[in-house]
Amino acid sequence: MTGNKTGWFVTAAITAALLGYTLVGDDEYTQHLLMWSALNAVLAVGLRFMLLVGETNIATGAFYGMGAYVAAVFTTKWNLPFPLALLAGGVLAVGVGALFGVITLRTKGPYFMLISFAFTEVVRLIYTRVEWLGGNSGIIGVFPPQGLDPYMPALTILLCGALILMMYLCEASNLGRVFQAIENNDAIVETVGIDVMHVKLLCLVIAAFALGVAGANHAFVYNVISPGDFSYLVPVFALAYVKIGGDNHVAGSILGAVLLTVLAQALQGAGALQHILFGGAIIASMLVLPDGIWGGVGRLLRKARGGAA
């Protein structure tokens, strides 16, 4: 799949167009929309990354939140430089993630999902109890350095794009095949001498890094963070982005994230209607398009090509 030249070309073209737009265009609303979509795309791809080994990891939300809090603390309390704050988000997430993984990856499937759910909620509750982190109100005033501020959209797209690319390359490599093998039948993988726990841990750590950095980015994009921003609903929505976009390919997760971010913004403030339409979109796609939009489009294209040939 790495050899798919059309795919690379299209991706590069779209990225270039987006970057160009963010640097030249002046519609602030759209720029913000792009940033939010980019961050949600990393959430979706990060969550999907662990789905590759067959685990639904709700704690991806906790890793994201940790990255945000680290960046906020580095900037507002310790006055440390911007790039360091971004990196620190990833580093902390990796540290906590590794510890979490070593302890919990011995469980699987629904048990692992529920324990990751519990972990995410505990972390959120701890944020609400710790005064130094702002308690329930969180932290405000998380700004990038002044000169960088107008370039935040471009920077966000580049950074998120790089994180997604990193995960995609891992998936396309032999490591990704081992992930797939573990998801298929982990007992077989063990018989050929590959330690499944270690590989799952590696998968988790890679995702944690990406999510931690993206979380740090999130803090600088939104400028204000609070515990409520990182509840279990965040990774649950990310899961919806993955499924609706199509879980067979990374592009599906990106597509799902963009579409649903835009939809959520369009429905902002519509009260009951927001719930109904958003929920309805998820239901409709699950019932009508089980392999998501990307899968559906793929099928259509194949039919068209098959018909023409």
Partner 1 sequence: MALSVGLFAQLLVNTLQIGAVYVLFALGLTLVFGVMKVINFAHGQFFTLAALVIAATMPEFTARFGMPAWLDYFVCFGLAFIIVGILGAVLYFVGFERYLRDLVGSFILSVGLLLFLEGIYLWLFGGAPRVVPKLLEGQVSLAGGAMESQRLVICAIALAATAALYQLVAKTRMGKALRAVAEDREAAMLQGIRYRRISFYGFMIGSGLAAISGGLIAPLTAITPALGNDYLAKAFIIIIIGGLGSIPGAILGGFLIAAVESFAGYFLDLSYATIAMFVLVMVFLLVRPQGILGVAER
Partner 2 sequence: MSEPILRAENISRRFGGLLAVSEFNFDIRPGEVLGLIGPNGAGKSTTFNVISGYYKPTSGHITFLGQDVTGLSTVAMSRRGLVRTFQHGSLLKGMSVRDNILMGTLRSLRDNAAREKRIAETAEMVGLADMLDMVAGSLPHGHQRMLSIAIGFAARPKLLCLDEPLAGLNHTEMGAALAVMQRIRDDFGTTILLVDHNMRAIMQICERIVVLNYGRKLAEGTPAEIRNNPDVIRAYLGDGE
Residues lying near partner 1 in the complex (CB under 8 A) are found at: 51, 56, 103-104, 106-107, 109-111, 113-115, 117-119, 121-122, 125-126, 128-129, 236-237, 239-240, 243, 271-283, 286-287, 290
Count, residues near partner 2 per rule CB under 8 A:
18
User: Is 194 an interacting residue with respect to partner 2 (CB under 8 A)?
Assistant: yes
Given the rule CB under 8 A, which of 162-170, 173-181, 288-296, 297-305 is the region that contacts partner 2?
A: 173-181
Partner whose footprint covers residue 192, from partner 1, partner 2, none (CB < 5 to 8 Å by kind):
partner 2
Partner whose footprint covers residue 286, from partner 2, partner 1, none (CB < 5 to 8 Å by kind):
partner 1
**CA 291/CA 249 separation, integer angstroms:** 10
Least distance in angstroms from the C-beta of 160 to partner 1: 23
Least distance in angstroms from the C-beta of 1 to partner 2: 12
Number of CB atoms found within 10 A of residue 308's CB: 6
Structure tokens at 212: 């931690």
Partner whose footprint covers residue 254, from partner 2, partner 1, none (CB < 5 to 8 Å by kind):
none
Least distance in angstroms from the C-beta of 5 to partner 1: 32
Quick one: the chain helix, strand, coil %, rounded to 5? 80, 0, 20
Number of CB atoms found within 10 A of residue 114's CB: 13
Collapsing DSSP to helix, strand or coil, 4 comes out as: coil
* DSSP line for 51-102: HTTT---TTHHHHHHHHHHHHHHHHHTT---HHHHHHHHHHHHHHHHHHHHH
Number of CB atoms found within 10 A of residue 171's CB: 22
Given the rule CB under 8 A, which of 73-81, 170-178, 263-271, 278-286 is the region that contacts partner 2?
A: 170-178
User: Is 3 an interacting residue with respect to partner 2 (CB under 8 A)?
Assistant: no
Partner whose footprint covers residue 125, from partner 2, partner 1, none (CB < 5 to 8 Å by kind):
partner 1
Which one, 40 or 56, has the nearer CB to partner 2? 56
**CA 202/CA 231 separation, integer angstroms:** 24
* DSSP line for 273-296: HHHHHHHHHHHHHHHH-TTHHHHH
User: Is 141 an interacting residue with respect to partner 2 (CB under 8 A)?
Assistant: no
User: Is 195 an interacting residue with respect to partner 2 (CB under 8 A)?
Assistant: yes
Q: Which amino acid is at 109?
A: G
Which one, 15 or 107, has the nearer CB to partner 1? 107
Taking the chain, what is the end-to-end CA distance rounded to the nearest angstrom?
Answer: 23
Which residues of the chain form contacts with partner 2 (CB under 8 A)? Answer: 174, 177-178, 180-181, 183-185, 187-196
